[in-house]
Amino acid sequence: MTRRPYGLLCPISRACKFLEPRWTTQILTELWNGSTRFNHIRKGEGNISSALLSRRLKEMEALGLVERIDDEASGTIAYCRTEKSIKLEPAMNAPAEWAQCNIEAEVALADEG
């Protein structure tokens, strides 16, 4: 029997791999909450380095989750949600609600360290 690559037939596995890189879901949450500027996103997350945030935003742009908008007149850059990330938001609410009910906060915070 031929082995299929992990997640090939499981949409949940494919979705998790898509969102797997560290900070991706937190950055999306900041965008869903209205942050659009690099420093606002970084401030909202607190512990992410500028270099890592920049790399994640570029990766997310390549995946179609974020659109980078350069305003040459003002010299500002905004990161905006795309249709793909807007459609993802309600789907992410279910695991968030599950985690709030089933994972103790102290355990979740201890795992981050």
Angle at 85 between CA 79 and CA 86, to 5 degrees: 100
Q: Where are the domains of the chain?
A: 20-112
Measured between alpha carbons, how far is 18 from 63 in angstroms, rounded to an integer?
8
Measured between alpha carbons, how far is 100 from 98 in angstroms, rounded to an integer?
5
CATH number of the domain at 20-112, please? 1.10.10.10
- pLDDT recorded at residue 24: 92
Phi, psi (5° rounding) for residue 69? -120, 115
The tens-digit pLDDT sequence of the chain (113 residues) is 677 666 567 888 888 888 888 899 999 999 999 999 999 999 888 789 999 999 999 999 999 999 999 989 998 999 999 999 999 999 888 888 988 888 877 655 555 55
